Amino acid sequence: MSMHEQPTSFAFTPEYLAKANIIIARYPQGRQQSAVMPLLDLAQRQEGWVSTAAIETIAAMLDMAPIRVQEVATFYTMYNHQPMGKHHVQVCTNICCQLTGSDGIVDSLKFALGVEFGDTSKDGLFTLSEVECLGACANAPMMQIDDDYYEDLTPESARAIIDAFRQGQTPKPGPQNGRINSAPEGGPTTLTTLSFSSEKA
Amino acid sequence: MPKLTIDGREIEVEAGTTIIQAAELLGIEIPRFCYHERLAIAGNCRMCLVEVEKMPKPVASCAMPINEGMVVKTNTPTVKNARQGVMEFLLLNHPLDCPICDQGGECDLQDQAMAYGKDHSRCDEQKRAVDKKNFGPLIETAMTRCIQCTRCVRFANEIAGAPELGALGRGEHMEITTYLNQALDSELSGNLIDLCPVGALTNKPASFTYRSWELKSTESVDAMDALGSAIRIDTRGNQVIRILPRVNDDVNEEWLSDRSRFACDGLSLQRLDKPYVRRDGKLAATTWSDALSVLAAKVKSSMTGRMAFIAGDHSDAETLVAAKDLAAAMGTTHLDCRQDGAALEAGLRASYLFNSTIAGIEHADALLIVGSNPRIEAAVFNARVRKRWLTGKLKVAVIGPKVDLTYKYEWLGDNPSILADIAAGTHPFAATLKAAANPALILGQGAVARTDGSAVLGLARKVADTTGMVKDGWNGFNVLHTAASRVGALDLGFVPGTGGKNVAEIVAAAGKGELDVLFLLGADEIDISGLGSTFVVYIGSHGDFGAHRADVVLPGAAYTEKNATFVNTEGRVQRTRLATFPPGEAKEDWKVVAAVAEALGKALPYTTLSQVRERLSAVNPVFAQIDMVAPASWGTFGQDGSVLPQPLTSTIKTFYAVDPISRSSKTMAQCQAAFGEDQCQRKTGTHG
């Protein structure tokens, strides 16, 4: 694990500290260590990544050895260990996405952001990552930006999403080609005689 | 108790036993890497796979508790295949550098690959390479060789109580490392080398200096602290290459402290290999006959009773009895073994022994530590306290230095008057002790090596009496010694006789010119500069403080170079064995004392080792019982009196330099540089 420049200190903001205390209180006395993963997540939401200082702060809050927290933080790939852009763009290149054209999505994103995988764009807004399957194969190809999935992408729609984020908007998550959730494209292919009043398709 | 069958042999074992343990009872060998009987079960190496009837897949025998009627097979083709498969995976990323690996020849992976692996590799892919890690000045790392058994992580976490090791990353990218790559700060770190089943963690001071098959092993006993841990001294020629622990469940289980293990380079540095005589202010090498005649001339010109003996911390019982007999023959009663001035009395054995025994501390449920930092005074014993504490059945309180002991304790303060409160029952911890089934107390040398030491000793005895520490089958009054020689010396009565002076009085008398001749038996911890113009005779192994001041230096043997008797802090009589010969013209210390006696015309009535040992048994019958601990009878000792408010502290300031051998050791000097001078001041951790 490479070491990046580490901040000398870390402290939860009052809002995050309040959330952290609620999480810690969920576990019985002496079992506070169970809160390590949500607390690491809170730290990452606050700072964008998990620094050594954050690890030590959490270790002290949960009465753990710092190495135990670091073990957890390095085991899970979703904890970042280096400073990140404002938005984390994670594009899936696993088999279903690749078969449906993730290579084109990747090229489009790299071109739009001007970065390679693992890098942060010059304006500090985006960090691009290549990830393994995110479990949305029915809507491949897809990418995750922050907490939301953007699915059924084309190189153009991916580009448009990036542009929207750049302008400070949050585009609507989900399929970008008009389909509803994971329903078949162009409408249902089975149970076509049934109709549900509240549904349009 | 459930019954099971392993390879057609039936065995009845306790519920909760695992298959691998049951197989071990039957003498059936199951290969393993991650499983270790003294560590928590991890089950991650998969080498111990066996077949169990009615189970669809091979199971890891180390993690599978037995069931009634289980039928286990360890010798089927399926098991053979499974082991070969696991071995193939383990070797996928293991480098083939056995010829340059220090573990080569004593490597579990090497041996088990021969026994259970395939005869060839099918791997032609790249192997992964992992950066070296910093485990401190004692442990060399080659992490590419690591098979991630996590024994080291579990040892650091559970036994050593230094949770600084961890496995970062996952899958193929998992790496064992210390937190932020800092040196591992533990007094027991050397045990990681023994635990590591491959060559990932090896002995740094000895790296690339030996091949395991070149070494000759001698089973002996450690004298670097007062525990008397069982050791194996590995030598090549006349050089001690390394020291390893042996299993002795009564004392050290299978651990050894870093000082006992790594100070061995000090055995060949700063050695006194010739007699020396001070001429014109300078020590000059000379012959035995010259040194003895100079000494004899000086003694003959001195007056009766103006001669004194101080025994050091490494003196063996044979030397002590010879010196005591010489003192008696010379008509002096000025002899003492308590270099630190400990107010322990020689009469009643229970007053200076670790009565509960070291293993017995695992039955204690309340423990009061007084004036001691067991972590640096007896690191292996401290691991035993931690082991008991981890079960949740031991409450610990400390009166003394507030330091990280690797377990949590209630700090009562460092004023000895707290003892009086506990004895009087007015302190809350008195109730805890009284409520305990097996209450215990550890009295460190820091508690008795004070001007009011006798009063502190008396108070500690009162605490023991009033809280029910002494009863049938249990004596929780424990004195933790720091010097290997001390209990033996007290057993022999190597203390001032009638009208005799103790160490402080001897030094004062020497300073005032009231003493003609002072014999130092490896005694270096006294105030050497205050000896005035007294004629000092130093009998010992190292050119340390004492030898530098001496007028005559007679070279002796270190504990690895003699067949000698030591009594550990429990009162266990144990014998070291000669592993190498004393360097140059040095001789076993008791023979030196005998030669001195002869030169003085007071020849001792014994000339062979067995005769000295007969004399030992005659002076105190305990010396006839080797490796046994007999319960000592209780009595009254210590004095009534008020105690001073000076804080109780440990007598040892730094773990790595406490005696001539460790002070001479370069390895210990490196440790001290890495871990700091004053470990007594180490902060309390919150991660006990």
Q: Which of B167, B178, B180 sits opposite A71 (nearest CB)?
A: B167
> Residue A200 — pLDDT band, cuts 50, 70, 90?
low
Residue A24 pLDDT greater than 70, yes or no: yes
Residue corresponding to tokens 């210990």: B668
Instruction: Please state the pTM of the whole predicted model.
Output: 0.93
Residue B356 pLDDT greater than 60, yes or no: yes
Yes or no, beta carbons of A67 and B169 under 8 Å apart? no
At A1 the pLDDT is: 44
Residues of A with Cβ-Cβ distance to B166 under 8 angstroms? 67-68, 70-71
Q: Which of B168, B170, B686 sits opposite A70 (nearest CB)?
A: B168
> Residue B684 — pLDDT band, cuts 50, 70, 90?
very low
Closest to A148 in 3D by CA, of B406, A106, A164, B290: A164
B109: three-class secondary structure by DSSP: helix
At A135 the pLDDT is: 95
- H or E stretch at A188: none
Beta strand residue intervals within B69-138, DSSP E: 70-73
Of the two residues A201 and B426, the one the predictor is more confident about is: B426
At B408 the pLDDT is: 96
At B664 the pLDDT is: 96
**Euclidean distance between CA atoms B642 and B261, whole angstroms:** 42
Residues of B with Cβ-Cβ distance to A68 under 8 angstroms? 163, 166
Yes or no, beta carbons of A65 and B168 under 8 Å apart? no
**Euclidean distance between CA atoms B307 and B330, whole angstroms:** 8
Residue B685 pLDDT greater than 80, yes or no: no
Yes or no, beta carbons of A1 and B169 under 8 Å apart? yes
Q: B686 to each of A60, A66, B199, B406, how far by Cα in Å?
A: 8, 11, 33, 9
Residue B78 pLDDT greater than 60, yes or no: yes
Q: Which pair of structure tokens corresponds to residue B637?
A: 């000792």
**Euclidean distance between CA atoms B160 and B187, whole angstroms:** 8
Per-residue pLDDT tens over the stretch A162-176: 999 999 999 999 999
Mean of pLDDT values over B376-405: 96
At B333 the pLDDT is: 95
Residue B274 pLDDT greater than 70, yes or no: yes
Residues of B with Cβ-Cβ distance to A70 under 8 angstroms? 166, 168, 179
**Which residue of A74, A77, A79, A132 to mutate against B (max B Cβ within 10 Å)?**
A74
A:B CB pairs within 8 Å: 34
Q: What percent of chain B has pLDDT over 70?
A: 98
Q: What percent of chain B has pLDDT over 90?
A: 94
Amino acid residing at B167? A
Q: Which of B166, B170, B175 sits opposite A67 (nearest CB)?
A: B166
Sign of the CA dihedral with B257 first, then B37, B15, and B407 last: positive
Rounded mean pLDDT of chain A? Answer: 93
Give the closest-approach CA distance of B164 to chain A in angstroms: 6
Q: Which pair of structure tokens corresponds to residue B173?
A: 């990218």
**Euclidean distance between CA atoms B585 and B183, whole angstroms:** 40
Q: What distance, in Å, lies between the first and last C-alpha atoms of chain A?
A: 50
Q: Which of B157, B175, B179 sits opposite A66 (nearest CB)?
A: B179
β-strands B335-336, B366-370: how paired?
unpaired
Q: Which residue ranges form the domains of chain A, and what is each CATH number?
A: 14-75 (1.10.10.1590), 87-175 (3.40.30.10)
Per-residue pLDDT tens over the stretch A105-125: 999 999 999 999 999 999 999
Residue B18 pLDDT greater than 90, yes or no: yes
**Euclidean distance between CA atoms B197 and B44, whole angstroms:** 14
B96 in contact with chain A, both atoms CB, cutoff 8 A: no
Cα dihedral B654, B659, B663, B666, rounded to 10, equals -90
Q: Chain centroid to CA B340: how far?
A: 19
What single-letter DSSP state applies at residue B573?
E
Yes or no, beta carbons of B179 and A75 under 8 Å apart? no
Cα dihedral B354, B359, B365, B369, rounded to 10, equals 40
Yes or no, beta carbons of A1 and B168 under 8 Å apart? yes
| Nearest chain A residue (CA) to B686 | A63
B687 in contact with chain A, both atoms CB, cutoff 8 A: yes
**Euclidean distance between CA atoms B523 and B544, whole angstroms:** 9
**Euclidean distance between CA atoms B407 and B409, whole angstroms:** 6
Mean of pLDDT values over B133-145: 95
**Euclidean distance between CA atoms B207 and B453, whole angstroms:** 45
Residue B682 pLDDT greater than 70, yes or no: no
- The answer to whether the bond into B197 is cis (omega within 30° of 0) is no
Yes or no, beta carbons of A67 and B178 under 8 Å apart? yes
**Which residue of A33, A62, A67 to mutate against B (max B Cβ within 10 Å)?**
A67
Of the two residues B205 and B304, the one the predictor is more confident about is: B205
Q: A34 to each of B232, B333, B632, how far by Cα in Å?
A: 43, 66, 49
Question: ipTM score of the complex?
Answer: 0.89
Give the closest-approach CA distance of B176 to chain A in angstroms: 10
Mean of pLDDT values over B456-484: 96
Sign of the CA dihedral with B395 first, then A63, B37, and B22 last: positive
**Euclidean distance between CA atoms B106 and B230, whole angstroms:** 20
Give the closest-approach CA distance of B165 to chain A in angstroms: 7
> Residue B683 — pLDDT band, cuts 50, 70, 90?
very low
> In terms of DSSP H, where are the helices of B600-655?
609-619
Q: Which pair of structure tokens corresponds to residue B280?
A: 């014109």
**Euclidean distance between CA atoms B149 and B132, whole angstroms:** 17
Residue B351 pLDDT greater than 80, yes or no: yes
Rounded mean pLDDT of chain B? Answer: 94
Q: Which of B164, B170, B686 sits opposite A67 (nearest CB)?
A: B164
Residue B588 pLDDT greater than 80, yes or no: yes
> Residue B206 — pLDDT band, cuts 50, 70, 90?
very high
Phi-psi region of B9 (alpha: psi -120 to 50; beta: other; left: phi over 0): beta
A149: three-class secondary structure by DSSP: strand
β-strands B335-336, B535-540: how paired?
unpaired
Contacts of A198 (CB under 8 A, 6+ apart): none
Residue corresponding to tokens 């000398």: A8
| Share of chain B residues as helix, strand and coil, in percent rounded to the nearest 5 | 35, 20, 50
**Euclidean distance between CA atoms B137 and B36, whole angstroms:** 25
Spell out a b/e string for A91-118, using b for 16 or more CB atoms within 10 Å of the CB, else e: bbbbebbeebebeebbebbeebbebeee
Mean of pLDDT values over B28-57: 96
Q: Per DSSP, what are the bridge partners of residue B521? A: B311, B539
Q: Chain centroid to CA B500: how far?
A: 32
At B71 the pLDDT is: 96
At B542 the pLDDT is: 96
Q: Per DSSP, what are the bridge partners of residue B397? A: B368, B410
Mean of pLDDT values over B188-203: 97
Cα dihedral A10, A15, A20, A23, rounded to 10, equals -170
Q: What percent of chain A has pLDDT over 90?
A: 85
Q: Are B430 and B410 in contact (CB under 8 A)?
A: no
Q: B649 to each of A160, B234, B570, how far by Cα in Å?
A: 71, 36, 22
**Euclidean distance between CA atoms B611 and B599, whole angstroms:** 20
B399: three-class secondary structure by DSSP: strand
Per-residue pLDDT tens over the stretch B612-663: 999 999 999 999 999 999 999 999 999 998 999 999 999 998 899 999 999 9
The helix-helix angle for B417-424 and B453-466 (nearest 10°) equals 20
At A186 the pLDDT is: 79
Cα–Cα–Cα angle for B154, B155, B159, nearest 5°? Answer: 120
